[in-house]
Structure 1
Amino acid sequence: MNNIMFKKWLGKNTSKTQPINPHPQLLVELFKKAKKSNDFKQFSVTNEEGNLIISFYNTLIDQQQLQCKILHVFQEHYTDVSNIEIKDIKNMIPIEDIILTDSLEVIESKLLRGYAILQIKENENTCALINISDKEIGLRDQNEAENEFSVVGPKTGFVENIDINLHLLRGHLKTPNLIFQEINVGTLSHTRVVIIYLEGITNPQHIHTMNQRLQDIDFDVVFDSSQLHQIISDDSLTPFPLSLSTERVDRMVWALINGQVAVLCEGSPYAITAPATLFDFFVSPEDYYLQWVIASFFRMIRILGVLFSIFATSIYIAVLTYHYELIPKVLLGPLVYSRHNVPFPPVLEVLFLEFTIELLREAGARLPAKVGQTLGIVGGIVIGQAAVEAALTSNVLLIIVALSALASSTTPSYKFSNTIRFLRFPLIILAAIWGGFGVVLGICFLFAHLTRLESLGSPYTVPLYPFRPKDFKDTIIRSSYQELAKRPGYLRPKSLWRYNPNSQKKNKNDFNE
């Protein structure tokens, strides 16, 4: 009898309130299948064959716990197993997480998560599932946020262990309203995925939408939260990330207290938060640790840098190819001088340098850190200088492309910086074909595409479109904390106020005493 036949038999002969009592042969078949793998172990704990059978995967358990808390206990204190019953196991073994069950589905699931299966008799159905999993092996100890580094503020980041990540969140949000909902995703991997939100703040519709999309996933193996991000995305035909990915604990906490939903995935040091907006990708956690004037200044520099990175090279092509009259007389001489020996049109110049920059960036990312940095610096200088001396490109264009490459990295989100790098190429092609009209056409198409995007069912360009003037306090600029007392209205939180800005009143007599 296979698993499918067994489930059909259960549906006809048991009710939902009755315990699942599998046929003994099914448990034997489960262990028989597991024995095909060399890391599966099964033996008698004592010298009596067929009694106290323990089964486990050797690669998933903690060997020290197995020796000290199970084998040592039975071999030293309980040599006579004739009077032992399965219900006595919890009192005999000094481990808290012990489950008594006869459910084949639970037994199989726990066996693959590092539990040891203990049977009193070889042919008994009810087993004791003992948690001796090794959760530390293969995981890194350091949890600094390497890719979202900030000079000011905490530097704590997530790691691949989801239990440690949940512990870090509990340490920051000491409230029973912090809710964790765990589900399994992946038909082969059964990856643990946890939905996180603040009850009483987060809109229930966002929670339901996230939960439903994760439950509907039909995928074999889920390695990382980035896969979940793509699978549950509202629109797969877009280069823009529709959920914010972060490895910083403080950034995720800020998203939760604003009313967003977060998702953590087993084996991934990144969390995803939604609904996200376009302006969220210009926000750095460091903005909230600096004075609001300075933070607003840096945020506007990021926005201007992104706009420059997207449009600089395409405008250069449009002007030099079709619109000479737009060049000021002061710049006309240097431009003519820098291009007088270049045999290629501006579009080929730009594509050559853009592809060179991308090659250096990709090579630097794939090589070891020290070698990659050296290759990027030396390669950029040598290739750039050689290209100018060989008359393959002009000095002016080399400066523009270098500044565009730097500006694309000003955003705190790596995924969004990749989007900026990609957007330059369609605009370059449009500018080469139609000049300024092509650039305007690209901008119109970009705006039309952005306005139709949604993140978890919410508009992607809010508060710009739909226009919400009251929610501009933490978008292009970061207002003072007195102005940020309200949560963003477009998230539709159940509790709009985060704190009372007038609760701490200044004492007028402080300077008179």
Structure 2
Amino acid sequence: MNLKNGDKDKGEGSNKKNDRNWLERLSKSNDFVHEHTSLIDEAPFWISYYRTLISSDILHQDVLPYLHEHLSLEELKSRIPVQEIIFTRDEDKIIQNILNGSIAIQKHQDDKEFLLINIANSKFRDVGLATVESSALGPQSGFIEELDTNINLIRKRLPVPELLVKEMKVGELSKTRVAVLYIDGIADPENVNTVIQRIKDIQYDHIQDSSYIASMIEDNSNSLFPQSISTERADRVAAGLTEGKIIIAADGSPNLVILPVTLMESFIAMEDYSYTWIISNFFRLLRFTAMFISTMITPMYVAIMTYHYELIPARLLETLVGSRAAVPFPPFLEALFLELMIEMVKEAGIRLPLKIGQSLGVVGGIVIGQAVVEAGLTSNVLLILVGLGSLASYTSPVYKFSNTIRFIKFPVIFLAQWFGLLGVFLAFQITLIHLLRLTSLGRPYLSQYPIRNTSFQDLWIRLPFSKQKENPKTLRPQKKFKSTGKGKKTEPANDFYE
């Protein structure tokens, strides 16, 4: 039955009036407790809380023993040995604090004054090793799902008052605590204000992870390339802060978001700084080369085997023709089938229980690949190339970028089938144009343009620490030099190469 506008407004008004009684609103849930602390009706103190959100040990040890005396709420506040205690009459604040793990104490049931004591149950897993961004050398600790613990790990590495934390709540229903971290005096205020404003503009019911926020505030949500770095390593976050980057942390997420970033940072591992600069440069070059191998090796096979036999040396051509003699499919279908099979094995290995997933990833891949070759569905040469490309896609230290490389090869394979090597070249040009137009927090994503001298200190290549004297100019940091030696001036960095 439809309501007229007047009836509708009247109904909404009556609902709002009923909702003003916070006790009635919260009592609808079975885990809400509103009880008297004494068997005598005239005795003081009523308490209200969600039993699933509080620590029962703290309640019985540090709160209830003090509620048997005839004390005022102000006196009770000074006696209870809990740090976070609020005295308020605001019903909205009462509801919000109870939902965050506080108990509300009122002297008599009809009183409007409350004492809110935070005894939230904050049992989380202990700080452990970084699982996704593991390394052989260097710090090993990774973030967990508790926001305050993550900020603690950062402050231990940067014990300076200039490290500022701006907290806000995001999500109409989840009310997720989100923190923006930066170093005052280094980070560009324009970047800080942009990040804070974009987070405040988010209108979404439930924020489950920091990756939600990263997707909602990035410059181009339709791009395949991640315009932020999601990391679980405290050392990477600390290093980014000292250069002028902005960090976004969300309660309930073990991954923090780093902004702004460039393409080349996806090939930098924190382990690089544990080696000499020559070895570090070798590994960076290896990762960058692996990206091209993973993206281009299968499309090149399809293009050459379909249109450009003349490019293959005679002896290698004999091997390729022999390996494909029993294959009934054209190179395009052969490559597409094998690539999809490898991706399914990867996904199954991730989703299955740990021990079963390890067995499937190693043994299953070998067995299935060998069976496919013996069945004549694909050639052994292509199996080797696809395996090489699959390994190369995981050399990037940033997991999201690895997924981009895994996906981008498929449209390139289709272009290679339609246009041959011209299609591969066309895919490269389209990607390059897209990267040139892409930005991260308004800053160029492709660090090669415009050219800056700091890119040759610790971006494209890594020089010795004695040569890394300036912060990256792409971030427009307020503090230009990394060194604190005498004679170094603090001034905004120029945007272009000088």
Do the structures match in fold with TM over 0.5? yes
Change (3 A) 1:98 1:465: same
* 1:46–1:74 CA contact under 8 A, matched in 2: no
Q: Which residue of 2 aligns with 1:273?
A: 258
Number of residue pairs aligned between Structure 1 and Structure 2: 477
Q: Which residue of 1 aligns with 2:492?
A: none
The answer to whether residue 80 in structure 2 is matched with residue 93 in structure 1 is: yes
Deviation by residue 1:440-491 (Cα, 9 ceiling, x = unmatched): 11111101111111111111112x0222244232222211101212100110
- Secondary structure of 1:111's partner? helix
Q: Distance in 1 between matches of 2:111 and 2:237?
A: 47
Equivalent position to 2:463, from 471, 474, 479: 479
The answer to whether residue 35 in structure 2 is matched with residue 43 in structure 1 is: yes
Equivalent position to 2:161, from 134, 152, 176: 176
The answer to whether residue 44 in structure 2 is matched with residue 67 in structure 1 is: no
Deviation by residue 1:129-179 (Cα, 9 ceiling, x = unmatched): 10111111xx21242101110000010110011111111111110100010
The answer to whether residue 332 in structure 2 is matched with residue 347 in structure 1 is: yes
Q: Which residue of 1 aligns with 2:271?
A: 286
Alignment of 1:100-139 (within 5 A): 100-136=87-123, 139=124
Q: Distance in 2 between matches of 1:115 and 1:186?
A: 20
Return the offset for 1:92. Answer: 2.7
* 1:318–1:435 CA contact under 8 A, matched in 2: yes
Q: Distance in 1 between matches of 2:133 and 2:284?
A: 15
**Counterpart of 2:414 in structure 1: which amino acid?**
I
Alignment of 1:417-496 (within 5 A): 417-462=402-447, 464-496=448-480
Q: Distance in 2 between matches of 1:217 and 1:320?
A: 50
Equivalent position to 1:252, from 210, 234, 237: 237
Q: Which residue of 2 aligns with 1:389?
A: 374
- Secondary structure of 2:458's partner? coil
Deviation by residue 1:344-388 (Cα, 9 ceiling, x = unmatched): 110011001101100100000001121111111121111111111
Return the offset for 1:54. Answer: 0.6
Deviation by residue 1:169-204 (Cα, 9 ceiling, x = unmatched): 111101000101100000001000000000000000
Q: Distance in 1 between matches of 2:87 and 2:13?
A: 24
* 2:454–2:471 CA contact under 8 A, matched in 1: no
- Secondary structure of 2:105's partner? strand
* 1:349–1:392 CA contact under 8 A, matched in 2: yes
The answer to whether residue 481 in structure 2 is matched with residue 497 in structure 1 is: yes
Alignment of 1:191-202 (within 5 A): 191-202=176-187
Return the offset for 1:41. Answer: 0.3
* 1:192–1:266 CA contact under 8 A, matched in 2: yes
Q: Which residue of 2 aligns with 1:328?
A: 313
Q: Which residue of 2 aligns with 1:227?
A: 212
* 2:19–2:25 CA contact under 8 A, matched in 1: no
Runs of 4+ in 1 over 3 A off after TM superposition: 500-503
Q: Which residue of 2 aligns with 1:53?
A: 46
Q: Distance in 2 between matches of 1:69 and 1:384?
A: 63
* 1:485–1:500 CA contact under 8 A, matched in 2: no
Gaps of 5+ in 2: 1-8, 488-498
- Secondary structure of 2:450's partner? coil
* 1:297–1:477 CA contact under 8 A, matched in 2: no
Q: Distance in 2 between matches of 1:26 and 1:240?
A: 46
* 1:180–1:196 CA contact under 8 A, matched in 2: yes
- Secondary structure of 1:472's partner? helix
Q: Distance in 2 between matches of 1:502 and 1:65?
A: 52
- Secondary structure of 1:473's partner? helix
Q: Which residue of 1 aligns with 2:4?
A: none
Stretch moving more, 294-303 or 101-110: 101-110
Q: Distance in 1 between matches of 2:323 and 2:485?
A: 58
Alignment of 1:340-419 (within 5 A): 340-419=325-404
Stretch moving more, 336-345 or 209-218: 336-345
Return the offset for 1:502. Answer: 9.5
Gaps of 5+ in 1: 9-22, 504-513
* 1:194–1:263 CA contact under 8 A, matched in 2: yes
Q: Which residue of 2 aligns with 1:511?
A: none
CA RMSD of aligned residues (A): 2.0
Deviation by residue 1:25-71 (Cα, 9 ceiling, x = unmatched): 866x2111111111100111233437311100000101011111111
* 1:482–1:501 CA contact under 8 A, matched in 2: no
Stretch moving more, 44-53 or 339-348: 44-53
Deviation by residue 1:207-231 (Cα, 9 ceiling, x = unmatched): 0000001001111011111111111
Q: Which residue of 2 aligns with 1:15?
A: none
Return the offset for 1:86. Answer: 2.5
Q: Which residue of 2 aligns with 1:218?
A: 203
